[in-house]
């Protein structure tokens, strides 16, 4: 289990958005083409002026290419890296509005996979009609100079390490697992690790905007993608077009507070799940209060800590993998029926296969035992963006009570999971700060009231920080709001993207 600031959005869990908009006209500047090097620093003009060689990439309707950027923006004439990009051209009808960049979060999530698997086919038809849908795998992620660390077998071992240590020996084993991850990343990706920050990814986004010849950036970022979008707005406020930040992060928080807030978010989501579960005839956690359900689940986890159960394959289901599986299902309420079934099989029949499948999905473990680089990129970006939440195990021990107060079910494990950046080989280059983006046009910030991974109060805070922030609230469950079944949310966002008119600040759905 490793949940340290992992703000994920799974394309598979999203439903197609309902739409109440028809084609309309716009003369917004996002439809006008800019000189690719307009306003670019002299040293970077060769990057802004490059031409992309679009080609087919095996997915009907999509094109792929690569784009050059400097590894180190302080040395733009030094080493270059290639970033993977993709697009699906606007389908029409209606006036073309330029490009719409999308990012699904993570950090570490593949924007190209998200584009091809969901956004390019599942975003509302009027939006796809007017915009070229585009994506860039951020540096260090998936197809873009990926951070490489552990092998598949090593990751299997890493994901099973006990993250609720009971004694000094177990605390030592956990710390050693974090050290091994850090050492493997340094061994295999040493040159890249100091240059995968969110600031650098945002600068890459602006080069992509310039190469696409868009005067302004139009963007939908989900989860961690909101931090990426807010960072872009901070760096380039005059180049902001229409930005949607859905499932918002709060960049003003230090890592410890951020992790503890997220822990409380998962507790909120679990209580909503438990209330729903108690109404179902197949609930394995009983029909009592959410607190009673939490006690039952905690007892189940504790039993697995002592005696893992079979899964139908060599890996057995222990506490860490079971906790990962449960938390994965908290991201989307549509996963709750499957979670009930998986918990019933595990708790009543000693069959851990369902929870193992949920954990494998969370970690992006493939059927052949390999893993995507999601978790490696996640750690690399997070550990560069903020100083570590804890410097040593004794710091975690002191903080466990406050984490358990935030979540009796998940608090201990999430506190210990926050130790991983203590051993990272590169020093953090970022720090907590408020983002104002003074001079930017209205930026739409979206928050879901029972979001597990990005608590609603973060959206309120980000909207208040931004000089032009507009808050849209969705009263509901799950992670993020756009395209998850609320016509109220979808219509507000679509109107903003197509007409440029944001909803009234504070609108609730």
* All structural domains of the chain: 11-16+38-147+193-252+430-508 (3.40.50.1820), 152-191+254-363+389-423 (no CATH)
**In Å, how far are 92, 120, 131, 217 from 101, measured between CA atoms?**
18, 11, 9, 8
Cα distance between the two ends of the chain:
34
88 forms beta bridges with: 133
pLDDT computed for residue 40 by the predictor: 75
CA distance 363 to 356: 11
pLDDT computed for residue 380 by the predictor: 97
pLDDT beneath 50, residues of the chain: 1-32
Q: Any residues with CB less than 8 A from the CB of 114 and at least 6 apart, and which?
A: 9, 11, 102, 103, 104, 135
Q: Are 136 and 205 in contact (CB under 8 A)?
A: yes
Respond yes or no on whether the N-terminal peptide bond of residue 113 is cis (omega within 30° of 0). Answer: no
Q: Any residues with CB less than 8 A from the CB of 131 and at least 6 apart, and which?
A: 90, 96, 97, 98, 99, 100, 218, 497
- pTM over 0.85? The answer is yes
CA distance 361 to 358: 5
CA distance 272 to 284: 15
CA atoms within 13 A on the CB side of 272: 23
pLDDT computed for residue 360 by the predictor: 97
pLDDT computed for residue 358 by the predictor: 97
Q: Which residues of 149-173 are buried (b: 16+ CB within 10 A; e: fewer)?
A: bbeeeebbebbbbbbbbeeeebbee
Which positions are annotated as active-site residues? 223, 451, 479
- pLDDT tens digit sequence for 394-444: 999 999 999 999 999 999 999 999 999 999 999 999 999 999 999 999 999
| Strand (E) or helix (H) holding 84 | strand 80-88
CA distance 100 to 219: 5
pLDDT computed for residue 42 by the predictor: 83
């Amino acid at each position: 289990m490793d949940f340290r600031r992992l703000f994920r959005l799974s394309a598979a869990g999203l439903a197609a958005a309902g739409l109440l908009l028809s084609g309309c006209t716009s003369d917004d500047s996002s439809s006008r083409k800019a000189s690719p090097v307009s306003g670019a620093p002299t040293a970077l003009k060769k990057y802004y002026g490059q031409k992309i060689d679009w080609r087919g990439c095996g997915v009907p309707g999509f094109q792929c290419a690569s784009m050059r950027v400097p590894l180190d923006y302080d040395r733009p004439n030094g080493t270059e890296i290639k970033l993977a990009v993709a697009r699906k051209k606007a389908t029409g009808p209606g006036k073309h509005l330029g490009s719409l960049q999308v990012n699904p979060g993570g950090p570490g999530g593949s924007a190209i996979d998200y584009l091809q698997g969901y956004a390019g086919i599942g975003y509302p038809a009027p939006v796809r009609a007017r915009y070229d849908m585009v994506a860039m795998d951020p540096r260090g992620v998936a197809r873009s100079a990926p951070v490489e660390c552990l092998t598949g077998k090593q990751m299997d071992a890493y994901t099973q390490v006990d993250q609720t240590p009971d004694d000094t020996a177990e605390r030592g084993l956990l710390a050693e697992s974090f050290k091994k991850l850090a050492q493997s990343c340094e061994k295999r990706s040493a040159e890249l690790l100091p240059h995968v920050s969110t600031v650098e990814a945002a600068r890459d986004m602006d080069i992509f905007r310039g190469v696409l010849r868009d005067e302004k950036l139009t963007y939908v970022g989900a989860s961690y993608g909101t931090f990426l979008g807010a960072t872009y707005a901070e760096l380039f406020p005059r180049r902001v077009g229409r930005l949607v930040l859905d499932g918002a992060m709060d960049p003003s928080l230090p890592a410890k507070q951020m992790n503890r807030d997220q822990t409380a978010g998962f507790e909120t989501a679990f209580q909503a799940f438990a209330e729903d579960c108690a109404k179902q005839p197949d609930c394995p956690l009983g029909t009592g209060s959410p607190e009673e359900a939490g006690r039952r689940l905690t007892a189940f986890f504790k039993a697995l800590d002592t005696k893992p159960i079979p899964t139908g394959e060599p890996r057995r289901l222990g506490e860490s993998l079971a906790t990962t599986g449960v938390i994965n299902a908290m991201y989307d309420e549509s996963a709750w029926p499957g979670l009930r079934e998986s918990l019933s099989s595990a708790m009543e029949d000693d069959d851990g296969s369902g929870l193992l499948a949920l954990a494998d999905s969370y970690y992006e473990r493939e059927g052949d035992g390999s893993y995507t680089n999601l978790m490696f990129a996640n750690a690399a970006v997070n550990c560069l963006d903020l100083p570590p939440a804890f410097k040593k195990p004794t710091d975690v021990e002191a903080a466990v009570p406050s984490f358990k107060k935030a979540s009796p079910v998940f608090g201990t494990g999430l506190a210990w999971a926050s130790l991983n950046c203590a051993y990272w080989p590169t020093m953090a280059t970022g720090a907590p700060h408020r983002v104002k983006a003074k001079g930017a046009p209205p930026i739409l910030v979206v928050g879901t009231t029972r979001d597990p991974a990005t608590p609603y109060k973060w959206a309120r805070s980000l909207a208040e920080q931004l000089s032009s922030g507009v808050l849209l609230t969705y009263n509901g469950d799950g992670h993020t709001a756009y395209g998850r079944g609320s016509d109220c949310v979808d219509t507000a966002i679509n109107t903003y993207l197509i007409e440029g008119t944001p909803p009234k600040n504070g609108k609730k759905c």
